[in-house]
């Protein structure tokens, strides 16, 4: 009799527990199912862009154009110096960009000590933030793939397309070739811009000739980069770039009087023959090389990314195609940054 009573008691307890489990609220049951079979998380797209003193309007316009033209999950890494960070943070948090996902990263210019040869001809090219692209793995820790953009760009396409750029095995980065798009060749000729290694490296120097790179080799532009962080670290790209910076200090292998100043040249050396290509329409450049030379409006409408590389920036005067840039500019709430226009 005791055994029968014990069995009945066990069955009763089991029945009570069974009922309790199956009376769990629907929302909680659904959450449990989701945890057991989670949907694939939306991939985060990290975009690195600098915020330099006097150029923060460029940073804001670039971010605004990216954010407005994509549904992707973009995380902006905004890199600045200690003195500029409060300004850019306030600008974002007090404008319509307050909805973006972003992290502010401080760049320590001391990492460049002894690695930059002073050159008075174009001092703006020696600003510390020009070299942020050399140190991507030190600034961005958790991402396998990263997009780096110069601040003087606007994005008219979906940044997801650029992020989906395929990198060949063993390549740490993808760039745009300076010879890749026939539509830009006339612009290059009209403004006298160099698009070969001859325009960036001093071939009178033995160290440059010893590289065995033909001076007629087509150059690339590192203002837009899709980078593989694993390969970058594995190949010690940062160390290689620093080596050539230090050699330039000692031997003057390239200077800011040449085409790309001091930031492009070491990248041309380190990545020679070891990079993948970005779709040409994702880097239409040379808009800042002349205040007169212009692309056709139809061509610019088709472009995915516009780059005002050169001296003539769209927030200054004179410049070309400023209307396309101003579409994305957001005024500075503090009033410190102002556009330079003929009537201002």
Residue 123 binned pLDDT confidence (cut-offs 50, 70, 90)? low
Residue 130 binned pLDDT confidence (cut-offs 50, 70, 90)? very high
List the alpha helices (DSSP H) in 69-177.
85-93, 136-139, 159-163
pLDDT of residue 117: 76
Cα 335 to Cα 61: distance, rounded to the nearest angstrom: 16
Mean pLDDT in residue range 93-122: 88
Q: Does residue 119 have a pLDDT over 70?
A: no
- Closest by Cα among 142, 181, 148 to 263: 148
Residue 82 lies in a domain: yes
Cα 309 to Cα 285: distance, rounded to the nearest angstrom: 6
Domain count, the chain: 1
H and E: helices and strands count for the chain: 13, 9
Residue 135 lies in a domain: yes
Residue 179 binned pLDDT confidence (cut-offs 50, 70, 90)? confident
Cα 237 to Cα 102: distance, rounded to the nearest angstrom: 26
Domain that holds residue 174: 45-181+219-233+275-327
Cα 148 to Cα 271: distance, rounded to the nearest angstrom: 16
Mean pLDDT in residue range 82-93: 96
Residue 56 lies in a domain: yes
pLDDT of residue 178: 83
Q: Does residue 148 have a pLDDT over 50?
A: yes
CB 247 within 8 A of CB 202: no
pLDDT of residue 34: 32
pLDDT of residue 343: 83
Residue 166 lies in a domain: yes
**Rounded alpha-carbon distances, angstroms, from residue 210 to 205, 246, 262:** 9, 17, 19
Mean pLDDT in residue range 214-237: 96
Q: φ and ψ at 48, to 5 degrees? A: -100, 130
Residue 296 lies in a domain: yes
pLDDT of residue 28: 26
CATH number, domain containing residue 102: 3.90.550.10
Residue 67 lies in a domain: yes
Mean pLDDT in residue range 142-162: 97
Over the stretch 22-48, which tens digit does the pLDDT of each residue have? 443 322 223 323 333 334 457 899 999
Share of the chain above pLDDT 70, in %: 79
- Token pair, residue 303, equals 């472009």
- Token pair, residue 30, equals 């659904």
**Rounded alpha-carbon distances, angstroms, from residue 227 to 145, 260, 275, 338:** 6, 20, 10, 33
Q: Name the average pLDDT for the chain.
A: 86
Q: Does residue 21 have a pLDDT over 50?
A: no
Residue 242 lies in a domain: no
Q: Does residue 344 have a pLDDT over 80?
A: no
Over the stretch 45-77, which tens digit does the pLDDT of each residue have? 999 999 999 999 999 999 999 999 999 999 999
Residue 53 lies in a domain: yes
Q: Does residue 334 have a pLDDT over 50?
A: yes
Q: Would you tell me how many other CB atoms lie within 10 Å of the CB of residue 240?
A: 16
Between helix 85-93 and helix 56-68 the angle, nearest 10°, is 40
């Amino acid at each position: 009799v005791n055994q029968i009573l014990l069995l009945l008691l066990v069955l009763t307890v089991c029945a009570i527990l069974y009922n309790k489990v199956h009376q769990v609220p629907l929302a909680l049951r659904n959450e449990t199912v989701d945890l057991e079979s989670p949907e694939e998380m939306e991939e985060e797209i990290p975009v690195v862009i600098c915020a330099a003193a006097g150029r923060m309007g460029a940073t804001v316009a670039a971010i605004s154009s990216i954010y407005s033209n994509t549904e992707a999950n973009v995380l902006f890494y905004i890199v600045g110096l200690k003195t500029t960070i409060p300004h850019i943070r306030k600008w974002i948090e007090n404008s319509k960009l307050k909805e973006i996902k972003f992290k502010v990263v401080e760049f320590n210019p001391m990492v460049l000590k002894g690695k930059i040869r002073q050159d008075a001809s174009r001092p703006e090219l020696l600003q510390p933030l020009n070299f942020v692209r050399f140190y991507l793995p030190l600034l961005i820790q958790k991402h396998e793939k990263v997009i780096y953009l110069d601040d003087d760009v606007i994005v008219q396409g979906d940044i997801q397309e650029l992020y989906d750029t395929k990198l060949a095995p063993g390549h740490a980065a993808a760039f745009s070739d300076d010879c890749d798009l026939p539509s830009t060749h006339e612009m290059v000729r009209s403004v006298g811009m160099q698009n070969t290694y001859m325009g960036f490296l001093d071939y009178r120097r033995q160290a440059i000739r010893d590289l065995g790179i033909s001076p007629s080799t087509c150059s690339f532009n590192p203002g837009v980069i899709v980078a593989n962080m694993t390969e970058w670290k594995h190949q010690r790209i940062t160390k290689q770039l620093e080596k050539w910076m230090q050699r330039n200090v000692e031997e003057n292998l390239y200077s800011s009087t040449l085409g790309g100043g001091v930031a492009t040249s070491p990248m041309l050396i380190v990545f020679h023959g070891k990079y993948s290509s970005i779709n040409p329409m994702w880097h239409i450049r040379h808009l800042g090389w002349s205040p007169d030379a212009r692309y056709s409006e139809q061509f610019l409408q088709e472009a995915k990314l516009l780059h005002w590389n050169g001296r003539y920036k769209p927030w200054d005067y004179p410049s070309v195609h400023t209307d396309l840039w101003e579409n994305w500019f957001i005024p500075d709430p503090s009033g410190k940054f102002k556009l330079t226009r003929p009537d201002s």
